[in-house]
Structure 1
Amino acid sequence: MSQYNQLRTQPHRNQPLKETHPQDQRHPTANDQPSKALQHPLYGAKRPTATLIWLIGVICTVLWVLIIVGGLAVVIVYLIFRPRSPRFEISSATLNTAYIDMGSLLNADLTFLANISNPNKKIDVSFDIFEVDLYYRTTLIATTAVDPFSEMRLEAKLGTFHMVSSQVALHTGEMEQLRNELANSSISLDVKGSFRARSSLGRNFLHFKYWLHGRCSIVVNSPPGGALMSSKCITKR
């Protein structure tokens, strides 16, 4: 009997014993559960774009189209009409009077003839503001204005300007410079103009306004016969 019990308690030689450890007994975790996203019926579906985003996109597209079309229109108009700025030039001038009173006060009388021309072949120009200033060095000594006028294409007009200075104070350096120029019969003056022009394209179907700035540096003889010796003019926007 004892031998029989001994045989029952011995394991079979061909079946090794299996050791178990507490860590091998795993419990279900969250990773083992099916994903909630996978369980959602809309998983993988594309979310619809918000109406506001679509509206902003449409507005931006329209603005870009308008900018491109406007740029092309400007280029086409420029190539067709080839707009050029009117010119302001001084053709003759006479310094009638120029003397220094009370040591530092300038009195002067200048008359000059200006040529205002429209060099465009397809554009008419009108001027609603036309102001002209006379400077000696950096000091404004006289100013005048012209009534509004118009010029047809390739038209030029001559205008007479009478500039009078009365008791204008000069800086010490300018006063000494003017004394030397009067003695040498070579007086330098600057004529500056500010003009607001209005151009009409193609029989008045398109208008645009802009400012022009003209500057003429002139040299005249001493009075009373102070004739124009040289003139250099620049007109730009």
Structure 2
Amino acid sequence: MKNGGIVQASLVKDKKPRRVRCGRSCCVFFCQFVCLLLVIFFLAVGIAALIIWLVLHPHSPQFTLESAQIPTLQVIQPATQNQASAAATVNADVILSVQATNPNRKISIYYEVITVYISISATQIGKTQVPAFFAGHQNITLLVAEVKAQSVPVQSSVSTLLQSQISQNHISLQARVDVKAKLKIGRYESFSFWVHTRCTLVVTPPSGNITGHLQSHSCHMVL
């Protein structure tokens, strides 16, 4: 009986490792199979994306500043200099002409939101929105954005700098164009995406009936 018991115990001990080995083997096989499927999936997506890029040659929309006019620009100092809360204010009228270009031959663009901001010494003085529109293949559209600032308070350092620039006959402005758009390829429409353009402008100040105009500028795009 003792020998029989010993034999049975040894049989149980021999069977347990075999079950463990089988479970581990199945788990390893399953993980390898899943990894193989993922590799095949991402490889297929990559090949499809490459084919689409080679066929369509997609390009981001481009925005070019064509001109800038400043009919009005005033710096109004506070009437009471002794009040700590008193601040200078700015009145301005800035008109920008921006060329929107769709360089794609097979892709159209929906411009859903176009917002233009104007700043002086990193202080925003106004913004405006341009109506949404659709641009077909290789379309070029001239946009006119007028930004008005009415009694916008600014820090004393900004007003002092602006008055100094006016006296020197050149003013530095910052323009920002934020665009929300989506692509149209045949019947397919992509998800919406943002394109941001930043510009630094040097303009002459208005004088009497003479409107200030653009002297130089530099722009760069940020996706």
Asked if Structure 1 and Structure 2 have the same fold, meaning a TM-score greater than 0.5 normalized by the shorter chain, the answer is yes
Q: Which residue of 2 aligns with 1:221?
A: 204
Q: Which residue of 1 aligns with 2:217?
A: 231
Q: Which residue of 2 aligns with 1:86?
A: 61
CA distance in 2 between counterparts of 1:125 and 1:52 reads: 51
Alignment partner for residue 187 of structure 2, among 192, 204, 211? 204
Alignment partner for residue 50 of structure 2, among 72, 75, 79? 75
Q: Which residue of 1 aligns with 2:3?
A: none
Q: Residue 197 and residue 52 in structure 1: after superposition, are their counterparts in 2 closer, same or farther (change >3 A)?
A: farther
What residue identity is the alignment partner of 1:139?
Answer: T
Q: Which residue of 2 aligns with 1:123?
A: 107
Question: Once superposed, what is the RMSD of the aligned Cα atoms?
Answer: 2.8
SS in 2 for 1:119: coil
Q: Which residue of 2 aligns with 1:164?
A: 148
Q: Residue 105 and residue 38 in structure 1: after superposition, are their counterparts in 2 closer, same or farther (change >3 A)?
A: same
Q: Residue 38 and residue 157 in structure 1: after superposition, are their counterparts in 2 closer, same or farther (change >3 A)?
A: same
CA deviation string 1:46-101 (max 9, x = no partner): 84346972555443332332122112222222222121111112111110111111
CA distance in 2 between counterparts of 1:177 and 1:41 reads: 89
Q: Which residue of 1 aligns with 2:34?
A: 59
SS in 1 for 2:96: strand
Deviation at 1:177, TM superposition (A): 1.0
- Identity of aligned pairs, percent? 24
CA deviation string 1:127-184 (max 9, x = no partner): 1121111111111101111222111111110111111011112222211110111111
CA distance in 2 between counterparts of 1:210 and 1:138 reads: 25
Moved more, 43-52 or 102-111: 43-52
Q: Residue 60 and residue 100 in structure 1: after superposition, are their counterparts in 2 closer, same or farther (change >3 A)?
A: same
The answer as to 2:91 corresponding to 1:107 is yes
The answer as to 2:143 corresponding to 1:139 is no
Q: Structure 2: which 5+ runs fail to align?
A: 1-5, 79-87
TM-score by length of 1: 0.75
The answer as to 2:70 corresponding to 1:95 is yes
The alignment of Structure 1 onto Structure 2 pairs a total of residues equal to 204
Alignment partner for residue 178 of structure 1, among 149, 162, 169? 162
SS in 2 for 1:157: strand
Moved more, 177-186 or 225-234: 225-234
